Structure formats: C-alpha cells, structure tokens
Amino acid sequence: MFTVEIESDATIVTVMCEDDSYEDVQVILQDDDGVVIRQFDEDLGKHDCVFMTYNMLIDVYASLSSPEGMFQTRRLRKNCK
C-alpha cells in the first residue's frame, strides 16, 4: 500500500507495511535530481536517511531483475522538436 503526494519542489511516495511490522518508508523525489529514502526509527526518535541521485534509484530498480554481476544503466532521453 502506498500514497503519492505532489508538492511544489518534490514528489513524496510513502510505502506502508500492511501488517505494521515495519515503519513506513518515504521516497522523496526532489526536483533537483536528488532522492531521499527515509524511515522513522522509534528508538532514536528520528529518521534514518539515505541520499542518492535519481540515476542511483533507477539502478536499484534495475538490480531487482538482474543476475549476479556488475552492470551499468543508461537513461534514454527523447529528442523533443
């Protein structure tokens, strides 16, 4: 289960654990090509955060269907005329 919120400078996806065994995970896609993945840690009383680029997030997604090894992804850009 997840929600999507579109803000003026970012899109925030919140993924919720349906059986409440884990805290929600937020993926914040910033307009400046930055990505923040965060999850609240109740013991510390703050969010644990991972910062990366959008290309790194695409690599994580691509790795889910890849065999063992080293790979490089490339973003294809459409030419607009």
The pLDDT-based confidence of 1 (bands split at 50, 70, 90) is: very high
What are the tens digits of pLDDT across the range 39-74?
Answer: 999 999 999 999 999 999 999 999 999 999 999 988
Run of H or E residues at 36 = strand 34-41
pLDDT of res. 80: 63
Taking the CA atoms of 77, 31, 47 and 18 in sequence, report the sign of the dihedral they define: negative
**What local confidence, expressed as pLDDT, does residue 51 receive?**
98
C-alpha distances in Å from residue 5, one per residue of 11, 25, 33, 60: 6, 14, 17, 22
Nearest 5°: the CA angle 49, 33, 41 is: 10
What's the pTM value of the predicted model, to 2 decimals? 0.83
Does 36 score more than 90 pLDDT? yes
Q: What is the mean pLDDT of the chain?
A: 94
